[in-house]
């Protein structure tokens, strides 16, 4: 196997690293303290083509591929896990789902503004009483002569209070169970009557990534809002998750790398008993384990991305394996980094406590770690 990156991929890595260092890092800690979402940074990311990697040039993309998107996501995640969320909310989520299932009219209307961040996107699956059990959702879309009427509430939705449009999953026929779920592209979220969004401020981490609740009360949408066919929503949802989970995995790799680098930096500077603590074998063991697990997690992410670039977007086993492993690796790495830094890791003056908080989210979002193990086991048996 050839493990050498192409010149294009090397360039994207360099651009991503440079952007993260110059545009995100200088204000990152202040933004974290203020829980500040930086729409201006999202727009700059779009201008550099970050959200166009998996989108054809016809719709404003650059077609550099899932590999480039994952590499960019890692570079951004190394500095700010929060700022990797737009990769899913713009590209791997709504834009790619519309590309795969939408009409030509929907593609032309929505994909370009998602790619260039003129519109901020979201996707609404989780509800207050249904998370891992997607088919357990209670939201409904009742068909009328001229459209659909949405009723229900979605919870823990990334970007929702700042989004302009969202994919919304709802039952059009509950008697058919999961085959009765449909997907809708709902735009004008901020002005449509009956839509209410409430931010969720009581989060452990990802402070610069908006998360909220959205409620629909007799919200009228046109028939043209239906994405794909009626009753195809569950398929669209699972296909979409096979893409956004790659983004989560790349985020985990970025966090793990940040933990490793911060641990090395501290271990070389901090002295005890007259020598840098890097001299102690237990510290070396922790740093070595972080490095090995980072390399393994990264390879799993790149494998899944490579398969997608070969046309296999439904590589569920590889994607869930990468997502599960990266999530658990990020948590272990952040925990190890806290041990290396000792008491200082508990202070917000150092970024390690943020890495720990942000890493924990990966065990829940886009399908919990337990659900990933169920998916992996079922696919292995197949």
Measure Cα distances from 242 to 13, 77, 103, 296 in Å. 23, 19, 21, 20
Mark 308-328 as b/e (b = at least 16 C-beta within 10 Å): bbeeebebbbbbbbbbbbbbb
Q: Strand pairing partners for 140?
A: 151, 171
Strands 140-143 and 195-199: unpaired
Q: Which two tokens stand for residue 8?
A: 């294009």
For residue 82, the Cα-to-chain-centroid distance in whole angstroms is: 9
What number of H helices and E strands is found in the chain? Answer: 12, 10
Which token pair is 351? 């970024």
Burial of 344 (0-12, 13-18, 19+ CB in 10 A): middle
Classify residue 163 by its DSSP letter.
Answer: -
**Strand, coil or helix: 45:** helix
Tell me how far apart the alpha carbons of residues 255 and 205 are, in angstroms, rounded to a whole number: 13
Instruction: Look up 366 and say whether it is catalytic.
Output: yes
C-alpha angle 346-347-353 in degrees, rounded to nearest 5 = 60
d(CA 363, CA 252): 10
Where does the chain show beta strands of DSSP type E?
121-124, 140-143, 147-158, 165-171, 181-186, 195-199, 211-222, 226-227, 271-272, 275-276
The sign one gets for the Cα dihedral 3, 75, 323, 282 is positive
**Alpha carbon distance 309, 321 (integer Å):** 17
Give the catalytic positions in this structure: 366
């Amino acid at each position: 196997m050839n493990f050498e990156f192409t010149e294009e991929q090397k360039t994207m890595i360099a651009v991503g690293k440079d952007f993260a260092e110059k545009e995100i890092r200088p204000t990152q800690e202040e933004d974290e303290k203020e829980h500040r979402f930086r729409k201006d940074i999202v727009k700059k990311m779009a201008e550099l083509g970050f959200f166009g990697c998996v989108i054809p040039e016809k719709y404003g993309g650059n077609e550099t591929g899932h590999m480039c998107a994952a590499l960019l996501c890692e570079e951004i995640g190394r500095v700010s896990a929060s700022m990797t969320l737009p990769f899913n909310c713009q590209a791997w989520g709504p834009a790619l789902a519309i590309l795969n299932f939408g009409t030509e009219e929907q593609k032309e209307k929505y994909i370009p503004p998602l790619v260039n961040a003129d519109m901020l996107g979201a996707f609404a699956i989780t509800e207050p009483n249904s998370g891992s059990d997607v088919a357990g959702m209670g939201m409904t879309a009742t068909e009328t002569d001229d459209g659909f009427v949405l009723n229900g509430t979605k919870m823990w939705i990334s970007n929702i209070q700042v989004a302009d449009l969202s994919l919304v999953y709802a039952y059009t026929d509950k008697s058919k169970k999961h085959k009765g779920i449909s997907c809708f592209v709902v735009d004008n979220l901020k002005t449509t009557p009956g839509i209410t969004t409430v931010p969720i401020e009581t989060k452990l981490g990802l402070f610069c990534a908006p998360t909220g609740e959205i409620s629909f009360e007799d919200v009228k949408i046109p028939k043209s809002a239906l994405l794909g066919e009626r009753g195809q929503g569950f398929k669209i949802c699972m296909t979409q998750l096979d893409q956004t989970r790659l983004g989560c995995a790349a985020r985990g790799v970025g966090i793990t790398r940040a933990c490793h680098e911060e641990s090395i930096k501290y271990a070389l500077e901090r002295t005890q008993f007259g020598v840098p603590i890097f001299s102690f074998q237990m510290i070396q063991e922790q740093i070595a384990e972080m490095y090995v697990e980072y390399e393994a997690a990264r390879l799993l992410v790149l494998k899944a991305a490579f398969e997608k670039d070969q046309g296999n977007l439904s590589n569920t086993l590889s994607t869930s394996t990468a997502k599960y492993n990266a999530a658990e690796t990020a948590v272990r790495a952040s925990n190890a980094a806290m041990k290396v830094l000792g008491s200082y890791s508990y202070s917000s003056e150092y970024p390690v406590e943020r890495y720990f908080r942000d890493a924990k989210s990966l065990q829940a979002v886009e399908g919990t770690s337990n659900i990933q193990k169920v998916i992996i086991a079922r696919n292995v048996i197949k």
